[in-house]
């Protein structure tokens, strides 16, 4: 993409009071725009990051054998009354229409997905089933001060599975739980699995996936020697204790952000809707269900919190809006060379700062703020050697010169 085709701007500072680092950086770099507290527009570059995260998650869900659907965000009151959520979930957004009908905005979709699936699974032969969606969710948060890490409207992947036996449920639950760690690793995040109390109703144990960051709203105690990690609220241990799992490490305290969770829902939703299936003995049974979430927009906020320096964002390659940022100091010769780089590396991989009127300093500052992994500098000085200069935003590789007739070298050397 050419920078002159981008309508977004970068800002040196934010005029208003933004307390979270992710919101500050993402706003300054032109990735998001706040409409109101906890509600954001994803601008072209921000949307590319969001889509990259979404597509990594989508690939994993498909590999888990789950089918993608897109369920409504606007729900009738009745289904939330059926499960008790209408009166018991304080963050549920409630809407009254001009005809005095009441609706909820989805904060989770068990109320929609349970009838959706079970009306199509009359027999044990139709199960197990796993479906997921990637969609907006809504929570009536009193405070929404963590940028895109805690939105009133947020983008989320939620998957639901339906099983005929505890054994089959446990198998799938474990599969998803393990895969989540791979997903977060692919996104550049080290997630810790923590045991937490169940969801809104479940008395069963659920697991949360926490990433250590001072921007988080949770507190965990974790072991440095093994993967033991618990939330402070439920913990039978305290910081300084010996690790109850490995016995070698000492527990430390840290702030963290929840990026995903898996819930054992038991038979609650099948029972609430009185929707079951007929087992092999001709008897009605209720499905055992699981719910598995990943906060897509929150993950983007957490990545921004983990991957930045004093100059701006430093995106991991897997989610960067563009791999290359062509920093061209404009004159006719440089423009022709930059065009050559742009064509060789592909428009879909490059953000080309092709503006005329901007100072060199501003150009370099923008490239650092926006945080694409590889910067390619095209100037008179580099062209004196018939070359462009290739610089790593993260310092992953030493900068090097690359001849204009050997541009393939950029791809190879910038990966090592």
Residues near Zn ion (CB under 5 A) are 223, 225-226, 228, 243, 245-246, 249
Q: Which is nearer to Zn ion, 211 or 223 (CB)?
A: 223
Q: Which is nearer to Zn ion, 78 or 225 (CB)?
A: 225
Shortest separation between residue 237's beta carbon and Zn ion, angstroms: 11
Q: Which is nearer to Zn ion, 33 or 242 (CB)?
A: 242
Shortest separation between residue 190's beta carbon and Zn ion, angstroms: 15
Q: Which is nearer to Zn ion, 185 or 225 (CB)?
A: 225
Shortest separation between residue 229's beta carbon and Zn ion, angstroms: 9
Shortest separation between residue 248's beta carbon and Zn ion, angstroms: 6
Closest CA to 275 of 79, 63, 53, 2: 79
Q: Which is nearer to Zn ion, 104 or 212 (CB)?
A: 212
Q: Angle, to 10 degrees, between the axis of helix 44-63 and the axis of helix 166-186?
A: 140
Q: How far apart are CA 38 and CA 172, in angstroms?
A: 34
Strand partners, 353: 327
Q: Which is nearer to Zn ion, 23 or 223 (CB)?
A: 223
Q: How far apart are CA 74 and CA 89, in angstroms?
A: 16
3-class DSSP state of 350: strand
Shortest separation between residue 209's beta carbon and Zn ion, angstroms: 18
Shortest separation between residue 242's beta carbon and Zn ion, angstroms: 8
Shortest separation between residue 212's beta carbon and Zn ion, angstroms: 15
Beta strand ranges found along 152-214 (DSSP E) = 153-163, 192-196, 206-212
3-class DSSP state of 26: helix
- The end-to-end CA distance of the chain, in Å, is 25
- E strand or H helix at 352: strand 350-353
Q: How far apart are CA 262 and CA 243, in angstroms?
A: 24
Q: What are phi and psi for residue 341, nearest 5 degrees?
A: -65, -45
C-alpha radius of gyration, the chain, whole number: 25
- E strand or H helix at 375: strand 374-378
Q: Which is nearer to Zn ion, 243 or 410 (CB)?
A: 243
């Amino acid at each position: 993409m050419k920078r002159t085709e981008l309508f977004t701007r970068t800002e040196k500072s934010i005029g208003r009071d933004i307390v979270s680092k992710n919101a500050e950086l993402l706003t300054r770099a032109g990735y998001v725009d706040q409409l109101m507290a906890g509600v954001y527009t994803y601008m072209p570059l921000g949307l590319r990051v969001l889509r990259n995260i979404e597509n990594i998650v989508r690939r994993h869900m498909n590999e888990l054998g789950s089918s993608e659907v897109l369920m409504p965000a606007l729900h009738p009151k009745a289904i939330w009354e059926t499960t008790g959520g209408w009166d018991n979930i304080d963050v549920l957004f409630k809407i009254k229409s001009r005809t005095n009908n009441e609706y909820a905005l989805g904060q989770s979709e068990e109320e929609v997905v349970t009838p959706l699936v079970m009306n199509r699974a009359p027999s044990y032969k139709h199960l197990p089933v796993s479906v997921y969606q990637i969609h907006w969710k809504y929570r009536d948060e009193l405070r929404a001060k963590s940028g895109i890490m805690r939105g009133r409207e947020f983008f989320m992947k939620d998957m639901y599975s339906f099983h005929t036996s505890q054994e089959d449920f446990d198998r799938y639950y474990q599969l998803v739980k393990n895969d989540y760690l791979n997903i977060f690793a692919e996104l550049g995040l080290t997630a810790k699995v923590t045991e937490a109390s169940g969801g809104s109703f479940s008395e069963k144990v659920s697991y949360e996936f926490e990433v250590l960051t001072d921007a988080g709203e949770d507190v965990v105690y974790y072991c440095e020697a093994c993967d033991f990690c618990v939330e402070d609220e439920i913990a039978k241990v305290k910081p300084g204790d010996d690790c109850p799992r490995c016995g070698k490490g000492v527990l430390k305290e840290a702030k963290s952000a929840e990026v995903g969770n898996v819930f054992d829902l038991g038979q609650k939703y099948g029972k609430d809707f009185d929707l079951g299936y007929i087992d092999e003995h001709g008897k009605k049974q209720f499905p055992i269900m699981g719910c598995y979430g990943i906060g897509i927009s929150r993950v983007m906020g957490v990545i921004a919190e983990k991957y930045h320096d004093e100059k701006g964002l430093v995106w991991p390659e897997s989610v960067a809006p563009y791999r290359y940022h062509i920093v061209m100091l404009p004159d006719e010769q440089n423009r022709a060379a930059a065009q050559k780089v742009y064509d060789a590396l592909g428009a879909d991989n490059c953000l080309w700062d092709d503006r005329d009127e901007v100072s060199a300093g501003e150009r370099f500052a923008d490239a650092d703020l926006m945080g694409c992994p590889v910067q390619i500098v095209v100037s008179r000085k580099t062209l004196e050697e018939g070359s462009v200069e290739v610089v790593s935003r993260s310092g992953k590789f030493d900068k090097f010169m690359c001849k204009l007739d050997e541009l393939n070298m950029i791809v190879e050397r910038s990966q090592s």
